[in-house]
Chains A and B, each alone.
Chain A
Amino acid sequence: EAAVTQSPRNKVTVTGGNVTLSCRQTNSHNYMYWYRQDTGHGLRLIHYSYGAGNLQIGDVPDGYKATRTTQEDFFLLLELASPSQTSLYFCASSPGQGRDTGQLYFGEGSKLTVL
């Protein structure tokens, strides 16, 4: 069974605060993704990566940085958090080979509240 672990699971910060969301996968997958989920918007892609040191820009990247330090670890950074970034964040990994590249394995989510 694919395993994707996110931390923290819940985070409260203030406007202007610095937040790092962590994601680790033990599936030996090449691809990792960060999405945010908001009511009425579904899942929106922030950043993704196909390997250590690689970063691809998603559809809603403003205000977010990301870094893939190893094949296993993908971090999402909010350096000046704003209330509009209050959301549920999901990390996912994917095999990256053939048609199954589209199959994502999700972590349990990180709920971020920016006051």
Chain B
Amino acid sequence: QQQVRQSPQSLTVWEGETTILNCSYEDSTFDYFPWYRQFPGKSPALLIAISLVSNKKEDGRFTIFFNKREKKLSLHITDSQPGDSATYFCAARRGTNAYKVIFGKGTHLHVLP
């Protein structure tokens, strides 16, 4: 059972476009939602994160929108660049059970120049 779902699996956009990556969950004990980015052959690294107390988190070209009622998040990348081509993982931390951190399957993003 996939506890954190991501869509689409794969996405191709043109340079300069806005990319939207989606994430959803069902477990109400999740309280913190980090997004990780992984370049080919590299380890995942934290990109941006949001907690339950916020509806929106912005960091440069990256913004998380959080609909708590529907348990949905989206990561928006404005002015997408070829260097943004990577796999993006949405993750969720369970606030109980010793802080278990679970990942979605990821979205592979390809930005064309």
Contacts and interface: CB of A to CB of B under 8 A. Distances in A.
Interface of A: 31, 33, 35, 40-45, 48, 50, 56, 58-59, 90, 94, 96, 99, 101-104, 106-109
Contacts of B103: 35, 42-45
B91 A102 contact: yes
Interface of B: 6, 31-34, 36, 43-46, 49, 51, 89, 91-93, 97-106
A31 to B, nearest CB: 6
A108 B39 CA distance: 12
Contacts, number: 66
Contacts of B99: 31, 50, 94, 96, 101-102
B101 A45 contact: yes
A99 B105 contact: no
Contact of A103 (B49, B97, B105, B106): B49
A102 B4 CA distance: 14
A45 B100 contact: yes
Contact of B100 (A56, A103, A107): A56
